[in-house]
Chain A
Amino acid sequence: SQQGEEDPQALSIQEGENATMNCSYKTSINNLQWYRQNSGRGLVHLILIRSNEREKHSGRLRVTLDTSKKSSSLLITASRAADTASYFCATDVSNDMRFGAGTRLTVKP
């Protein structure tokens, strides 16, 4: 089942700029995950942040989690054209995976 809200739905930036995507959810979670989907491909897991963590980094990716606001953000720094993809957040609620509708990111060279 799909749930959660991501904004913006679409984001277009120039190479080198930072991209920020947000995700909100409704219920208590065990963890929250971010995924990337390139056109016509399967989801690729980017990063998992547990409910007791507030921030996590992986390369050019930075994820924050605010459980009091039930929201998370994904920041991609120094974007590249190859970052063009759809990005999804997913929440793990008692072993039930729930996905947002995604943000479509376009990075112009």
Chain B
Amino acid sequence: NAGVMQNPRHLVRRRGQEARLRCSPMKGHSHVYWYRQLPEEGLKFMVYLQKENIIDESGMPKERFSAEFPKEGPSILRIQQVVRGDSAAYFCASSPSTGWTNEQFFGPGTRLTVL
């Protein structure tokens, strides 16, 4: 059973370009969380999705950022018109259900560098 997969692992973009980050949850998991980690800081929650639904996007910047988790395929975090401040590591995690789940299974992260 493969773990959470994220690709690409490293992504370089120039200011103004778009960044698309993909997350494939573990098999059987229908919940996905996205987090952003700035250098030397902790993870900050961005968005929580179930299949075809955004449950909580309270941590998502209002502009340029969007996320989806379609019925088929990976979850996508999309950043339009990237700026240098978007440079960070972006982690996704999946879990099988809500309620008292002690574990979110994390992917290896995508490190975005904006030149």
Please tell me which one of the listed residues A1, A30, A42 contacts residue B56 in the complex, with CB atoms under 8 A apart.
A42
Least Cβ–Cβ distance between B95 and chain A, in angstroms? 9
Interface size on A, residues (CB 8 A): 27
Per a CB cutoff under 8 Å, which of A35, A40, A43, A101 touches B98? A40
Whether B100 pairs with A43 at a CB distance below 8 angstroms is no
Interface pair B35/A43, CB less than 8 Å apart? yes
Q: A35-B43, A42-B35, A42-B48 are in contact. Are A97 and B106 (CB under 8 A)?
A: yes
CB-defined contacts of A24 to chain B, threshold 8 Å:
none
Task: Output the least CB separation between A91 and chain B (Å).
Answer: 12
Chain B: number of interface residues, binned into ranges: 20 to 34
Where chain A touches its partner, the secondary structure class is strand
Interface string of B81-111 (1 = CB under 8 A from A): 0000000010101000011101111101101
B104 touches A39 (CB 8 A): no
B-to-A contact residues, CB < 8 Å: 3, 33, 35, 37, 40-46, 48, 56, 59, 89, 91, 93, 98-100, 102-106, 108-109, 111
Can you list 19 residue pairs at the A/B interface with Cβ under 8 Å?
A1-B106, A33-B42, A33-B43, A39-B98, A39-B99, A40-B98, A40-B99, A41-B56, A42-B33, A42-B48, A42-B59, A43-B33, A43-B43, A44-B45, A45-B44, A45-B45, A95-B89, A95-B111, A102-B102
